[in-house]
Structure 1
Amino acid sequence: MDFLCQAIIFDVDGVLINSDPVADRHWRLWADRHGVDYEAIARIHHGRPTVDTIRQVAPHLNVVEEARIKESAEADDTDGLVTYAGAQELLAQLPRDRWGVATSGTRRTVSIRFPYLGLPEPSVMVTANDVQRGKPAPDPYLLAAERLGFAPADCLVIEDAPAGVEAAAAASARVIAVATTNRAEDLARADAIAPALAAIHISVKPNGLWVHISPTA
């Protein structure tokens, strides 16, 4: 399947960076500390801001402060972080003003992880710090498209989580879901599903960015 777009907006965790070992480690620590069922967290946290997850599983806590503490500790933890195959090559071939990221993570987390993993700095970075409503609300992708200077409909989003796919669709952007952290059937609202990031190929043309999905990575 092929797409023509003017800009690409990437989610970060689960798309460019495999941060599952770090996220799982810190969610388990947090759950143990507060007596919360980790499995309840695991079912909902992918693609959502930390504060929203805590609000759902432990609304009696000071959710803003708890999210701040957890996010700070997690941002400093790089043990087990890796990029997904093809991430560096994909970003390297894109014009810097034609791509950005929209993540439910914090600005500090992205600012630490990208240079640590050798990824180029995004020209546009929308994080949980930049919006009042995180995914699945469309706000992160609407703001990223605005900062890139294109209408959301002219942008292509690459996501891995149902909440992110829903956010992109609500922003009127087209979306490719990579089946890295979720089952393909849970990503059915996406315009297309790629088996992995390495299956996505981009060509820079005079009329925009051509994106092709191979059936295998």
Structure 2
Amino acid sequence: MSELVRVETKGILFDMDGVLISSIGSVVRCWRQWAEHYDVPNAEIYEVPHGMRAIEIVKQLRPDIDPQEGLRVIEDLEMEDVAGLTVLPGVRTLLARLPLDRWAIVTSATQRLLIRRLEVAGLPIPQRIISADMVERGKPDPEPYRRGAELLGLPAAECLVIEDAPSGVGAGLAAGSRVLGVLGTHSAEDLKDATWIVPSLEAVAVDTDADGLKLQFPTVA
């Protein structure tokens, strides 16, 4: 049986893909096209490692090419292919209730791709973002979430990270934040290290006051 949890926090750091939007169809299509272009074996069945920066995937798949060229190619493909991009349940309602200075997006996408996807989805582009091209080390390193907390002017311990991938969960915990895992791209077992897990953001209610944010949600048993 699920437990109703009440959490107080000063700010929220959202991952993007798999938390706010789903662009999995585009991601799979584009990476398989990229893999075919660069003669990666079994390109037609390539499975994208979710939550990893594109530059790191490029280096992993084709360490012999210029990584910046490979990154530009996959970024251009994903900028063009936005078919099937959807806003995930509960996202619009939750974002509408959050003060603009209390949340940020911390993503493994580049800034250009982040803005493109948010525009297509019709979601607000926050004042504070940390993208893949703004950090030296991507998730699961804690740098992205530490940087995100700094943008809010808060210690990471006073921020709640919301993630859908094990690498992001690990990054949030390593930064010192509590982490709310959201099911979708990964199973509850995959996200077992998260502080709490919810089926979707539709399950999350939030209120604000002078002291911060108060969230309430039923956890996945």
List structure 1 segments (4+ residues) > 4 angstroms apart after TM superposition.
38-41
Task: Tell me the CA shift for residue 157 of structure 1.
Answer: 0.5
User: What is the SS of the residue equivalent to 2:60?
Assistant: helix
Q: Which amino acid aligns with 1:156?
A: L
Matches within 5 A, 1:83-102: 83-102=87-106
TM, length-normalised to structure 2: 0.92
Aligned Cα root-mean-square deviation (Å): 1.6
Q: Distance in 2 between matches of 1:205 and 1:138?
A: 28
Matches within 5 A, 1:26-65: 26-36=30-40, 37-38=42-43, 42=47, 45-65=49-69
User: Is this contact kept in 1: 2:109–2:132, CA < 8 A?
Assistant: yes
Partner of 1:16: 20
Task: Tell me the CA shift for residue 101 of structure 1.
Answer: 0.2
Structure 2 stretches lacking a partner, 5+ long:
none
Q: Distance in 2 between matches of 1:149 and 1:211?
A: 20
Q: Distance in 1 between matches of 2:111 and 2:185?
A: 22
Of 106, 122, 129, the match for 1:125: 129
Task: Tell me the CA shift for residue 52 of structure 1.
Answer: 0.8
TM, length-normalised to structure 1: 0.93
User: Is this contact kept in 2: 1:92–1:120, CA < 8 A?
Assistant: no
- Pairing 1:208–2:212 present: yes
Distance change (3 Å), C-alpha of 1:57 and 1:40: farther
Q: Distance in 2 between matches of 1:140 and 1:159?
A: 13
User: Is this contact kept in 2: 1:153–1:173, CA < 8 A?
Assistant: yes
Q: Distance in 1 between matches of 2:168 and 2:44?
A: 20
Q: Distance in 1 between matches of 2:25 and 2:100?
A: 29
Instruction: Give the fraction of aligned pairs with identical amino acids, expressed as a percent.
Output: 40
Matches within 5 A, 1:80-159: 80-159=84-163
